Structure 1
């Protein structure tokens, strides 16, 4: 019985393998719930090509009466969903009360076709 259970488990795991990338690059915005609770809202980042660089940007809006300091990082991916190097370190931006601030990132790799913005406090 034990061998049968192991065989079923191994077959199940083998059926889970795929040639698709492990990262779902269609999710271009990841925001921790604490950011939303702090009053910050935003849209998905936009992607543009300029001067042999790819540029991603997003506008953060603070709905509260006090400034909020947000940490963010952009992750860049190629068409296959592979993360591109070099990785940028996390950045910090203070969004004043009832104001909007643009956060942006650039990469010199023109194979970049997707970007993900990760926001946290």
Structure 2
């Protein structure tokens, strides 16, 4: 009986955490590690467009530093329900020259894709 008193609050806490909704907030379309900002890289959320029957997400990275910065990035695609679309695109790497800008982009042929998230890290 005592064991039940200790376990019951834990089980209730776990029950409160479960949800039918996706755990990912798809309205947050840009995730950037603090080290990227510290390195002088700034950007905007990815812009979505349609090109030749495919969904396209693009973003421009700006380097505010005196030296080039190597940035790793990955685009994630989601449908209207917030479910991630497979297959995953592999991480990419780009070098942004000093005081310059460079466009990065991703295309997906899945027409159910309606949202994209850009994740940037060093």
What TM-score do you get using the length of structure 1 for normalisation?
A: 0.95
Q: Identify the residue that residue 29 of structure 2 maps to in structure 1.
A: 28
- Distance in 2 of aligned mates of 1:27 and 1:12: 26
Q: CA RMSD in A?
A: 1.0
Compute the displacement of 1:85 (Å). 1.3
* Residue matched to 1:45: 46
Q: C-alpha separation between the residues in 1 aligned to 2:6 and 2:81?
A: 36
Q: CA deviation at 1:50?
A: 2.0
Give structure 2 stretches of 5+ with no counterpart.
Answer: none
TM-superposed CA distance for 1:46, in Å, is 0.8
Q: How many residues align?
A: 121
For normalisation by structure 2, the TM-score amounts to 0.94
| Other structure's SS at 2:11 match | helix
Higher mean displacement: 100-109 or 84-93: 84-93
Q: What is the Cα deviation at residue 11 of structure 1? A: 1.6
Quote the residue 1:58 is aligned against: 59
- Which stretches of structure 1, 4 residues or more, deviate above 6 A after TM superposition? none
Show the counterpart of 1:106.
Answer: 107
How far did residue 89 of structure 1 move? 0.8
Secondary structure of 2:36 counterpart: helix
Alpha-carbon distance in 2 for matches of 1:86, 1:18: 25
Task: Quote the residue 2:93 is aligned against.
Answer: 92
